[in-house]
Amino acid sequence: MENIRCPNIDHFCFVCGHIVARALTSRTGFSPEFKLAYTRYFDEVDLSDEDYTPNTVCTNCYNRLLDWYHRRGRILKLTKPMLWIKDPAGHVKSKCYACVNYLPRLNKYALKHKQYVAAFTGILPVPMPDSAEPPKPPSPDAMSTWTAETAFTNRSDPQDDDYEPNIEDDKPKPLTQNEMDYIVAKMGLSQRNAELLTSFLKRRKLTERTVSAVSYRSRQTEFQKFYAVNGTNTFTYCIDIEGVVNKLGMAYAADDWRLFIDGSVSSLKAVLLHNTNNKPSIPLAYGTNMKESYETLQNILAKVNYEEHKWKICCDLKVVNIMQGIILCVFLDVFLLKYCFFRNYFKGWIS
């Protein structure tokens, strides 16, 4: 049978064999220091790098082994750890410890009181009796010697006669333009701060020669064609909403977006938000020295072609009252127009 890794194996702790719940513990992984503490505490061969053992350790085992290793007082009350065995026949669910004991979606109480069953691929750990004494942690001198011999054997010692330093690894690797753009985007830097950071790194010779510090001055030019400004330069609005969405690499559908309108003492803005909040928001309109009034909101809705897209609007109660007034005014205008027309029509026909 083909030797396939069990899909449930990483749900169990490598040391105690219990289920590791994401909501209760963190999957910390195996650091070199943890491997040293595990080998010293249990006097066992470290099998954490084998393909049939879990790549997971619970927080309790991880912290207690390191606390014992650094003489912090706490110990792990196990005499023997979980013993993982490789099945020569491959992965068989009936003989697999992970498949026999794994139950998804267990709460905290159920995990605490769950009973585990040994299987062919896993032998349960042996608890430490109350009368037993835990192993003595290594002395600081032994720890430093053991760490140097075990964790750093792949490095050459500067005290050796045949030591040759690797100059290539010690050289700094200059940043490329794409890497600088990624850093600026992740840090959310403004145009000025991005230029300052790039200039500083270039002076330190930490970037390639082709990296430009002034490239961020024109990063908004590719989006300027989708926006327009009024005559007084106090109000900016989007004239091609579908074009902006497509430029950002997304497909536009009006039902997937909602319009957010809010204002402050000195400005008023309208932003397009995605219903799932998994996509970036798109600014549609921004005005300075504008207040939340009937005329202002009616102007914003007209500029962004609200009647064409019909988004759902999310806003505060003040804007809700204004929006209801705008809708009521539009309804009354249509009603009175039709009423006056039919009244004059029938009046002339009767006369």
Is residue 1 assigned to a domain?
no
Distance in angstroms (rounded) separating the CA atoms of residues 293 and 265: 13
Report the Cα–Cα distance between both ends of the chain, in Å, rounded.
99
Task: Please answer whether residues 13 and 54 qualify as being in contact, where contact means their C-beta atoms are separated by less than 8 angstroms.
Answer: yes
> In the structure encoding, which two tokens stand for residue 254, read together?
């009006």
* Helix or strand run (H / E) with residue 345: helix 317-350
Check whether 287 has a pLDDT greater than 50: yes
Total structural domains within the chain: 3
For residue 189, the model assigns a pLDDT of 86
* Domain coverage including residue 308: 221-335
Q: How far is CA 319 from the centre of its chain?
A: 33
For residue 344, the model assigns a pLDDT of 45
Is residue 172 assigned to a domain?
no
At 271, is the pLDDT very low, low, confident or very high (cuts 50, 70, 90)? very high
Quote the percentage of the chain above a pLDDT of 70: 78
Question: Strand 312-314 and strand 257-263: pairing?
Answer: parallel
- The DSSP string of 84-129 is E---TT---GGG-HHHHH--SS--HHHHHTPPP--BTTEEPPEEPP
Do 23 and 146 belong to one domain? yes
Do 260 and 214 belong to one domain? no
The per-residue pLDDT for range 152-169, each reduced to its tens digit, is: 344 445 555 555 555 555
Is residue 201 assigned to a domain?
yes
Is residue 210 assigned to a domain?
yes
Better pLDDT: 161 or 290:
290
Do 195 and 231 belong to one domain? no
Check whether 15 has a pLDDT greater than 70: yes
Do 20 and 146 belong to one domain? yes
3-state helix, strand, coil in the chain (%, to 5): 40, 15, 45
Do 115 and 38 belong to one domain? yes
The average pLDDT across 329-347 equals 46
Check whether 205 has a pLDDT greater than 50: yes
**pTM more than 0.85:** no
Check whether 346 has a pLDDT greater than 50: no
The average pLDDT across 232-237 equals 87
Do 239 and 291 belong to one domain? yes
Residues 6+ apart with CB under 8 A from 293: 322
Do 214 and 231 belong to one domain? no
- Classified as helix, coil or strand, 132 is coil
Do 129 and 211 belong to one domain? no
